[in-house]
Amino acid sequence: MALRFNKNKHFKIVQFTDLHWENGEAEDQKTAELIRLIISIESPDLVVLTGDILSASSCIDAVESMRQVANIFEACGQRWASTFGNHDDEGNASRAQLAETQMNFSTCLTQVGPSTITGVGNYTLPINPYFDADERNDTTPVALLHFLDSGNCAPTDIGGFDWVRHDQIEWYRLQAKSYHTHGDKRIPALAFFHIPLPEYEQVWDFHTCYGAKFEPVCSPRINTGLFAAFYQMGDVMSTFVGHDHVNDYEGELHGIRLCYGRSTGYNAYGRKGFLRGARVIQLVKDQREFQTWLRLSDGSQVIQEPGTKPLERQLTVDELTCN
């Protein structure tokens, strides 16, 4: 089930994040309706779930809850892939069990990833050119999607949230290098994970950003250098995260765009007037660029949110503490 650009040289991704699915109750059904609405409007080539798919501590049977989520995509024939967040394995199923559950569905492209490194769900999905029956079937990837497990909670002596470990970063380096098949040419790539990097705070503090920041960046207190690896390897154009439900901004740091998704789930905390939704990403074949916009629960499209510079911003009460 290879991923391919379409005949117009586009590849569209819808990022849903923080579904916080429980047991299929009323709020979950609202989340499912929103997912179906956005899929029907956008017709994506791939859906990506960037963690906290479940509020696992509230799930009676976490495996069954994951099946309920997977069935949303299975029912409409939508291909999808995921990475885990800090709440997904807080119930009665491990990350590995939840990944295996997803992989039992025909439209799911999630992979467990190598067992020799930290985490579950470290993998790369290549995107191939459009297949024209009258031409040679080119299976050389022209874009890459990297997925990383950003962990759960940090050790108690440090506190806060987990971080991507050095063995995962080395794995990413090897993955990126293995696709560098044309000398110094780098295949354009995107990276998806749940917990934002510390650089998300840096880009907000020192650069023009587009969108909203209504809570602190709840990134790990330890910076293991994943952003530096992205910069050094030269393939990743942008990262996409969730975790902080009422942030949806994006900004560029050293040539890499750091983007939040738009929180999707109705069981998750939110903010009055801040509609649930999704981020849409459209790649263009043979170009190191992409378009992105938000699709909200009322069906509206937000192509570019207002941009602000650091000195123009006013700290809100909500930004003072991490939820």
Identify the pLDDT of residue 32: 99
**Each residue's pLDDT tens digit, 117-161:** 999 999 999 999 987 755 566 678 999 999 999 998 777 878 778
User: Is a pLDDT exceeding 80 seen at residue 1?
Assistant: no
- Could you tell me the pTM of the whole model? 0.94
Task: Work out the number of other CB atoms within 10 angstroms of the CB of residue 86.
Answer: 20
**Each residue's pLDDT tens digit, 241-261:** 999 999 999 999 999 999 999
239 band by pLDDT with thresholds 50, 70 and 90:
very high
Q: Is 20 within 8 Å of 54 (Cβ atoms)?
A: yes
Q: Is 203 helix (H, G, I), strand (E, B) or coil?
A: helix
Identify the pLDDT of residue 317: 41
Distances (CA, A) of 205 to 42, 198, 217, 226: 33, 11, 11, 19
Cα 5 from Cα 45, distance rounded (Å): 8
Identify the pLDDT of residue 130: 86
- The structural domains of the chain, with segments of one domain joined by +, span 3-320
Sign of the dihedral defined by the CA atoms of residues 210, 51, 299, 1, in that order: positive
Residues 6+ apart with CB under 8 A from 112: 96, 99, 100, 103, 120, 121, 123
Q: Is 41 helix (H, G, I), strand (E, B) or coil?
A: helix
User: Looking at residues 212-235, what average pLDDT do you find?
Assistant: 95
Q: Is 74 within 8 Å of 105 (Cβ atoms)?
A: yes
CA angle 306, 309, 310 (to 5 degrees): 130
89 band by pLDDT with thresholds 50, 70 and 90:
very high
AA letter at 224 = T
Fold of 3-320: Purple Acid Phosphatase; chain A, domain 2 (3.60.21)
Q: Which of 195, 261, 187, 281 is nearest to 17 (CA)?
A: 261
Task: Work out the number of other CB atoms within 10 angstroms of the CB of residue 269.
Answer: 12
Distances (CA, A) of 101 to 68, 148, 264: 11, 18, 22
Phi and psi at 293, nearest 5°, equal -150, 170
Of 29-43, 137-151, 174-188, least confident by mean pLDDT is 174-188
Cα 65 from Cα 71, distance rounded (Å): 10
